């Protein structure tokens, strides 16, 4: 999902009333980033509080490539990493992941081996369908048991885009919250839905309801689901004891635009790039009775901060035996403070750019290769900026390309 996909961030069709209400009741983060412009490393960073080059989720087999885990790659999250749910267990939390794990599909990488108590979802995205011989369809799990596969037991209609997966994920969330509230058990819920990831899908009742086509239908269903989750917390009387944060793992994938691509607002390019459109994310913090309503923060934030912030909320300290890159955002959220910190833009194992304050310096530029571009694959469709959105990997180490993101959020005019 992209920065520009929500009404609160300026999307003109205003089709996200629940997320917009969440922002009105909580705090909007306008300068919030992921740790990598691709799914797997950003999720690893969120759960470890560490940059991908520290937690092992990057690749060195090609300069400035991205790390990912399709079903034919055998790697996953290292045992040496301490994930957020593992640490929250020390404070008595019950932990559940719903949806996409994407940190390895072999048994040793299973989420229940890394701190989660429950899982309903898949180790990867809903790609396919495959032939089920040389390459089987991707499995869906309930805890340790594989209960079916995408396109077989869990139907996805590629012609119409119909699938009820988001409704299944929503019901799982509501049931889990109810169960923990009934037992007075503190809980951590990682709701990692993937409806806006191509191939985009939505439930029947949402199909054809958006001005934005199928992608908008999926966004509307996610918005409706978030609204139901927040309302459920309020009805159970636990909203003032529950911190909720909404964000994305990378910018909208313009490679699938316009029919299945989202909006990154005024920002350049999209997923898989280290331009703003690939790494700046929509972000909303919600905690009734604690976060002043209608807050807007320009704090430079990162998904890694959710690791440190969650530990702080649980009264726990981050591990002291390793470098933690996330910061505790509670002073920002509760007191309106601003913490001076940089944002690092990595692609693979290469530091592509750094943001400090309103300035961003690119040490390398690259969108995607000429070879891919010649095949119609474009990470920046309609957004060619000479000398910036390069199709060869261009080094600027000795004279970085410098942008002022306040005056030029689209990274079009190097200083």
Determine the pLDDT at residue 304: 98
Give the integer Cα–Cα distance in Å for 120 and 100.
9
Closest CA to 70 of 46, 39, 31: 39
Give residue-wise pLDDT tens across range 59-101: 765 667 767 667 777 889 999 999 999 999 999 999 999 999 9
Query: Tell me, what's the pLDDT at 338?
Result: 98
From the list 278, 279, 304, 272, the residue with the least C-alpha distance to 52 is 304
Exposed / middle / buried, residue 60 (Cβ in 10 Å: 0-12, 13-18, 19+)? exposed
Distance CA 406, CA 227 (A): 32
Among residues 280, 325, 244, 340, which one has the least CA distance to residue 49?
A: 325
The DSSP call for residue 202 is B
Place of tokens 């092992």: 56
Catalytic site residue from 63, 102, 380, 404: 102
7-344 maps to CATH 3.40.640.10: no
**Partners of 404 in the β-ladder:** 359
State the pLDDT at residue 316.
97
pLDDT of 20: 98
Measured in whole angstroms, the distance separating CA 409 from the mean position of its chain's CA atoms is 21
The first and second tokens of residue 365, run together, are 């530029």
Q: How is the chain split into domains, by residue range?
A: 7-344
Model pLDDT for residues 168-226, shown as the tens digit of each residue: 999 999 999 999 999 999 999 999 999 999 999 999 999 999 999 999 999 999 999 99
C-alpha R_g of the chain: 20
| Residue 78 to residue 179: CA distance in whole angstroms | 31
Structure tokens at 111: 């989420």
Q: What percent of the chain has pLDDT over 90?
A: 93
Tell me if 240 sits within 8 A of 228, measured CB to CB.
Answer: no
Q: What's residue 69's pLDDT? A: 67
In terms of DSSP H, where are the helices of 185-321?
Answer: 214-235, 276-279, 305-313
For the question of residue 125 being annotated catalytic, the response is no
Q: Two tokens at 407?
A: 């005056």
pLDDT band (50, 70, 90) for residue 35: very high
pLDDT score at 70: 72
Give the C-alpha separation, 135 to 412, whole Å: 43
Backbone angles phi, psi at 73, to 5 degrees: -105, 135
197 is catalytic: no
pLDDT tops 90 at residue 264: yes
């Amino acid at each position: 999902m992209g920065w520009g996909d929500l009404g609160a961030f300026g999307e003109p069709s205003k089709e996200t009333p629940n997320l917009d209400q969440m922002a009105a009741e909580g705090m909007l983060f306008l300068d919030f980033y992921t740790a990598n412009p691709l799914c797997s490393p950003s999720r690893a960073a969120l759960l470890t509080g560490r940059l991908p080059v520290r937690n092992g989720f990057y690749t060195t087999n090609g300069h400035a490539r991205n790390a990912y885990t399709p079903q034919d790659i055998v790697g996953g999250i290292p045992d040496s990493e301490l994930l957020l749910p593992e640490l929250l267990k020390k404070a008595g939390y019950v932990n559940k992941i719903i949806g996409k794990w994407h940190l390895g599909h072999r048994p040793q990488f299973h989420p229940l081996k890394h701190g989660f108590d429950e899982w309903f979802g898949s180790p990867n995205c809903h790609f396919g369908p495959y032939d089920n011989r040389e390459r089987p369809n991707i499995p869906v799990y309930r805890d340790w048991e594989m209960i079916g596969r995408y396109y077989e037991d869990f139907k996805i209609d590629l012609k119409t885009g119909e699938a009820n997966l988001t409704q299944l994920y929503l019901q799982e969330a509501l049931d889990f919250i109810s169960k923990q509230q009934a037992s007075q058990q503190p809980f951590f819920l990682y709701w990692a839905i993937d409806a806006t990831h191509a191939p985009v899908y939505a439930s029947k009742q949402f199909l054809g309801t958006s001005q934005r086509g199928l992608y908008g239908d999926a966004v509307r269903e996610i918005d409706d689901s978030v609204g139901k989750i927040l309302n459920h917390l309020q009805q159970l009387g636990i909203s003032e004891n529950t911190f909720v944060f909404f964000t994305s793992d990378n910018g909208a994938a313009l490679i699938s635009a316009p029919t299945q691509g989202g909006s990154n607002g005024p920002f350049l390019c999209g997923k898989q790039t280290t331009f703003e459109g690939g790494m700046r994310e929509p972000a909303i913090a919600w905690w009734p009775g604690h976060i002043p309503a209608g807050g807007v923060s320009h704090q430079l934030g990162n998904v890694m901060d959710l690791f440190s912030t969650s530990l702080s909320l649980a009264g726990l300290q981050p591990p002291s035996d390793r470098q933690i890159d996330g910061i505790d955002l509670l002073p920002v959220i509760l007191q309106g403070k601003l913490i001076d910190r940089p944002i690092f833009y990595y692609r693979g194992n290469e530091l592509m750019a750094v943001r400090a304050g309103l300035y961003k310096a690119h040490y390398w530029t690259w969108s995607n290769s000429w070879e891919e571009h010649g095949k119609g694959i474009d990470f920046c469709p309609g957004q060619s900026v000479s000398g910036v959105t390069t199709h060869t990997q261009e080094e600027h180490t000795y004279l970085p390309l410098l942008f002022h993101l306040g005056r030029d959020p689209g990274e079009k005019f190097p200083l």
